[in-house]
Amino acid sequence: MASGTFDFFSGSLRRFVSFRFILPNDSPVFLTEGNPCYERPMKTLYLLHGYSGGNADWILNSQIWDLSSKYNLCVICPSGENSFYLDGPQTGRNYATYVGEELVAYTRKTFGLSGRREDTFIGGLSMGGFGAIHTGLQFHDTFSKIFALSSALIIHNVKTMQPGFDDGMANYEYYRMVFGEPEKVVESRNNPETLVKEILAEKGAMPEFYLAVGTEDFLYKENQIFREFLESQKVPHVYKEGPGAHDFGFWNQHLEPAIQWMLEEKE
Mean pLDDT over 246-266 rounds to 95
Q: Could you tell me which of 112, 110, 79 has the C-alpha nearest to residue 12?
A: 79
- Label the pairing between strands 15-23 and 2-10: antiparallel
Round to whole Å and give the CA distance between 115 and 20: 20
Tell me what pLDDT residue 27 has.
79
Nearest 5°: the CA angle 62, 72, 101 is 80
Question: Which backbone phi and psi does 5 adopt, to 5 degrees?
Answer: -115, 135
pLDDT digits (tens, 9 = 90+) for 191-228: 999 999 999 999 999 999 999 999 999 999 999 999 99
- pLDDT above 90 as % of the chain: 95
pLDDT digits (tens, 9 = 90+) for 13-42: 999 999 999 999 987 888 788 999 999 999
Mean pLDDT over 162-183 rounds to 97
Round to whole Å and give the CA distance between 235 and 96: 22
Contact 77, 44 (CB under 8 A): no
Tell me what pLDDT residue 26 has.
85
